[in-house]
Amino acid sequence: MAESKEGAADKKKSKAVETLRGMRDILPDEQIYWEYFRRKAREIADTYSYGRIETPILEQEKLFSRTLGKQTDVVEKEMYVFDDKGGDKVALRPEATASVVRAYINHGMLNLPQPVKMWYMGPMFRYDRPQSGRYRQFYQYGLEVIGGGDAVVDAQLILIATKLFEDLGLKVKVEINSIGTMQTRQEYKIELVAYARKNKKDLCEDCMRRMAKNPLRLLDCKVEACHAIMKNAPQIVDWLDDPSRDHFMELIEYLDEVGVPYVLNPHLVRGLDYYNRTVFEIVPDRGDDAESGSQSALAAGGRYDELVEMMGGREQTPAVGFAVGIERAILEMKQQNVEPPAMPVPDVFFAQLGKEARRASLRLFEEVRKAGFNVVEAFGKASLKAQLESANKVGAHVAVILGQQEVQDGTIIVRDMDSGSQETIPIEKLIDNLKRILK
């Protein structure tokens, strides 16, 4: 009783609940793009024999902090971390590679024929400031090859990535580089910082910070002055160890072999710690050389030969993978005017009038549907006028109308929505009649 009283007092409309910042709904109209992407992505994964893997969205926090690097922004400030009710420190996954590798180890996939190829697609979470093509919940599609170290694996993976975008109707180009091993990268960083320090008076504020925190990022600063200075900076390829250099050379040969167009970008680096050797990005190729920086990468990936061992798996399990930012891919599809196939126009609209007819319609609708027609209805609407209006709006070619009179007579009206002509036929003939008209 007290409740109803409260309810009455609380009559004023309450404010509608909004989505959280950086979160959004993907509505039916938008889905044609998503469905198009999903379909192409699935087809590509299938034809190259990648098996789908789905991993939990929620993982132990340390899975990411240990693998991505504690110092990285992703772990340090962008990860959704909290204690669950049992007191475990958990995190919403900010990416999927670490989870896939965890699964590889957990399920003893080292006993499968190597390399193991897997793909995934799903939501990731980063507590970023939202902007164009960036949300706090975003979707990635990715491929991982674990247990294969040969450069041919890298080459085919890059090939697959380009094929995906080709299938999507997007013009893209590949940028590649090699960042060597943890050790050589360390040596290179020292050299790079030394070079930067010599020019520090001309570097931007961000770059001053990068010198200490993330030296490799000095290379792709967008500020004109920094860019100019870094052109003459020592290049990481000159610091590669021999096996890494050979690996890189082989990769290039393979890419040439299959005709994948690529650009060597000595300034291309990765943000996450686990990468080594091959790194690459897929960026839009918009003809004009408006170099839009790393911001515009549609997909990115690279080799992570140390990760499996680092996570407690068997030693020397090399691996390589990449991920596509699906929002960005879709944004680029719109940019390049890629038209995904439209939703199919329904063949038949099923209209009814009166209670008896409605009852019969519910059943008859199923028969029409089972006969293979794309049929829609608006049973919730009472007036025939309103129903035909709907039929017209959805673009149905034919409307069938069942009223009280027809139910009594065992007939049904079939109306051609284009010409407006209609005829009354025996109800048993409906399916055959529709087949004839819609043939």
Partner RNA sequence: GCGGCCAUGGUGAAACGGUUAUCACAGGGGUUUGUGGUACCUCUAUUACGGGUUCGAUUCCCGUUGGCCGCCCCA
Residues 10/13/19/20 CA torsion (nearest 10 deg): -50
Number of residues that bind RNA (CB under 7 A): 74
Assess 33 for contact with RNA (CB under 7 A).
no
Among 22-30, 85-93, 190-198, 240-248, the segment contacting RNA (CB under 7 A): 22-30
Q: Is 281 in the site for RNA (CB under 7 A)?
A: yes
Q: If DSSP codes are grouped into helix, strand and coil, which group holds residue 250?
A: helix
Query: Given strand 299-303, what is the order of strands in its sheet?
Result: 51-52, 116-125, 137-146, 319-325, 299-303, 276-284, 172-178, 262-264
Note the residue count of the chain.
439
Least distance to RNA from the beta carbon of 261, Å?
19
| Contact call for residue 389 and RNA (CB under 7 A) | yes
What distance in Å separates the CA atoms of residue 144 and residue 119, rounded to the nearest whole number? 6
Nearer to RNA, 237 or 413 (CB): 413
Provide the mask over 105-124, with x wherever binding to RNA is found by CB under 7 A and - wherever it is not.
Answer: --------------------
Distances (CA, A) of 361 to 59, 409, 437: 49, 15, 20
List 74, 145, 158, 174, residue binding RNA (CB under 7 A) = 74
Please give the Cα distance from 288 to 168 (Å, whole number).
21
Question: Among the candidate windows 13-21, 49-57, 150-158, 429-437, which touches RNA by CB under 7 A?
Answer: 13-21
Give a three-class secondary structure readout of 287-314: CCCCCCCHHHCCEEEEECCCHHHHCCCC
Name which of 234 and 271 has its Cβ closer to RNA.
271
Which C-beta is closer to RNA: that of 168 or that of 401?
A: 401
Alpha carbon distance 158, 102 (integer Å): 23
In one-letter notation, the amino acid at residue 169 is G
Q: Does 418 bind RNA (CB under 7 A)?
A: yes
CB 340 within 8 A of CB 314: no
- Piece of the chain touching RNA by CB under 7 A; list 2-10, 165-173, 360-368, 415-423: 415-423
List binders of RNA among 206-235 (CB under 7 A). 206, 210, 214, 217, 221-223
**Chosen residue from 3, 6, 10, 18 binding RNA by CB under 7 A:** 18
Give CA–CA dist 74/27, Å, rounded.
28
Coil/strand/helix, residue 388: helix
Regarding 335 and contact with RNA (CB under 7 A), the answer is no
Rounded to the nearest whole angstrom, what is the least distance from the CB of residue 1 to RNA in the complex? 27
Work out whether 199 is an interface residue with RNA (CB under 7 A): no
Give residues 177-196 in contact with RNA (rule: CB under 7 A).
Answer: none
Among 100, 388, 414, 430, which residue sits at the site for RNA (rule: CB under 7 A)? 388
List 174, 219, 297, 375, residue binding RNA (CB under 7 A): 297
Regarding 415 and contact with RNA (CB under 7 A), the answer is yes
- Binding to RNA (CB under 7 A) within 124-153 occurs at 126, 128-135, 138, 140
Q: Confirm or reject binding of residue 70 to RNA (CB under 7 A).
A: no
Binders of RNA among residues 35 to 54 (CB under 7 A) are none
Contact between 267 and RNA per CB under 7 A = no
Taking CB under 7 A as the binding criterion, the range among 26-34, 50-58, 190-198, 402-410 that sits at the site for RNA is: 402-410
**Quick one: 28 or 113, whose CB is closer to RNA?**
28
> Residue 114 or residue 137: which is nearer to RNA going by CB?
137
Q: 300 or 430: whose CB is closer to RNA?
A: 300
Residue 427's alpha-carbon distances to 351, 401, 402, 422, in angstroms, are: 14, 11, 10, 14
Q: Would you count residue 89 as binding RNA (CB under 7 A)?
A: no
Q: Indicate if the alpha-carbon torsion angle 383, 387, 393, 398 is positive or negative.
A: negative
CA atoms in the 13 A half-sphere facing the CB of 201? 1
Contact region for RNA (CB under 7 A) — 192-200, 307-315, 333-341, 414-422?
414-422
Q: How far is the CB of 59 from RNA (least distance, A)?
A: 17
Distance CA 399, CA 402 (A): 10
Query: Counting contacts by CB under 7 A, is residue 272 touching RNA?
Result: yes
Q: Which of 40, 185, 247, 270 binds RNA (CB under 7 A)?
A: 270
Q: Which residues have C-beta within 8 Å of that of residue 305, sequence separation ≥ 6? A: 149, 276, 277, 316, 317, 318, 319
Helix (H, G, I), strand (E, B) or coil at 351: strand
Residue 234 or 354 with smaller CB distance to RNA = 354
Quote the CA–CA distance of 325 and 315 in Å, as a whole number. Answer: 31
Q: Is the dihedral of CA 223, 227, 228, 233 positive or negative?
A: positive
